Amino acid sequence: LGWVPRASTRAAQKTPVDAEQKIFELFVRLSLMVRDSGVRHPDLLVNFDQTQVVMADNTANTFEVRGAKQVSVLGKEEKRAFTAVVGVSASGDLLPMQFIFKGGSHRSLPSSHAPSMDEATRLGFVYSWNSANYWSSLPTMAEYMERIVVPHFARAKQLHGYADDQDCAVILDCWSVHRSEAFRQLVRGRWPWIRLLFIPGGTT
Position 25 pLDDT exceeds 70: yes
Rounded Cα distance, 130 and 200, in Å: 27
Q: Decide: 97 and 147 in contact? Cβ < 8 Å.
A: no
Residue 184 pLDDT more than 70? yes
Q: Over 90: is that where the pLDDT of 154 sits?
A: yes
- Taking phi over 0 as left and psi of -120 to 50 as alpha, with beta for the rest, 38 belongs to left
pLDDT of residue 42 exceeding 90, the answer is: yes
Residue 78 reports pLDDT greater than 60? no
Tell me what the mean pLDDT of segment 69-93 comes to.
80
Would you give the distance in Å from CA 23 to the centre of its chain? Answer: 20
Domains of the chain: 29-54+77-198 (3.30.420)
